[in-house]
A and B are shown apart, each in its own frame.
Chain A
Amino acid sequence: SQKIEQNSEALNIQEGKTATLTCNYTNYSPAYLQWYRQDPGRGPVFLLLIRENEKEKRKERLKVTFDTTLKQSLFHITASQPADSATYLCALDYGNNRLAFGKGNQVVVIP
């Protein structure tokens, strides 16, 4: 079955630096790959979506890359701020009306 791997260790990063998170998956590539932010006790909040034929997508301080050969997506937060502290979830979308989520990677931005 499909496995989605995100780093289980929290990423501690100094304010102003770039945080980079990794999402690796097995088996076949999804039609879309989505990234969400989740704060404790809250629902996921959609951030970015990238299609399988796209290499890179940007939105403000966020950048996502998608490499179907490596079966990997990278998520970057540039000029990180304490308010960026949260858990970031990778989700695979095979176009069948269901998302498969990774377990998430916590980011802690230190002032």
Chain B
Amino acid sequence: EPEVTQTPSHQVTQMGQEVILRCVPISNHLYFYWYRQILGQKVEFLVSFYNNEISEKSEIFDDQFSVERPDGSNFTLKIRSTKLEDSAMYFCASSEDGRGGYTFGSGTRLTVV
């Protein structure tokens, strides 16, 4: 069964550093997403991406964050100048048509120290 692949599975970074989280969505999917889940909290929407541009973003997704699809397969989330409160699981997801169920990756656990 096709899956969404995320790397790395764990990332520890110092406060103020930049991190890039990587995702390979399912190949025939057209919609891509990033969500995050702080430990013990609900899954929160960050951003959706379609046709090489952001289609929706939440209030969490401020200037500190950016997304990119650098080639035909990868989808990245960059977090500049990380803060302690950025520590969370970050999930990438993709969807064929933006209407059905989403396929989520296993996540990257980001720890900011």
Contact = CB atoms under 8 A, between A and B. Distances in A.
A46 B102 CA distance: 6
B38 to A, nearest CB: 11
B106 interface: yes
B56 interface: yes
Chief secondary structure at chain A's binding surface: strand
A42 B99 contact: no
A97 B31 contact: yes
B42 A103 contact: yes
Contacts of A44: 43, 91, 102, 104
A46 B103 contact: yes
Chief secondary structure at chain B's binding surface: strand
Contact of B107 (A43, A91, A96, A97): A43
A98 B56 contact: yes
Contacts of A89: 42-43
Given A44-B91, A101-B43, A32 B99 contact: yes
B7 to A, nearest CB: 14
Interface in A53-111: 89, 91, 93, 95-104
Nearest to A103: B42
A98 B56 CA distance: 7
A45 interface: yes
Contacts of B68: none
B99 A45 contact: no
Given A49-B101, A95-B99, A42 B107 contact: yes
A16 B110 CA distance: 39
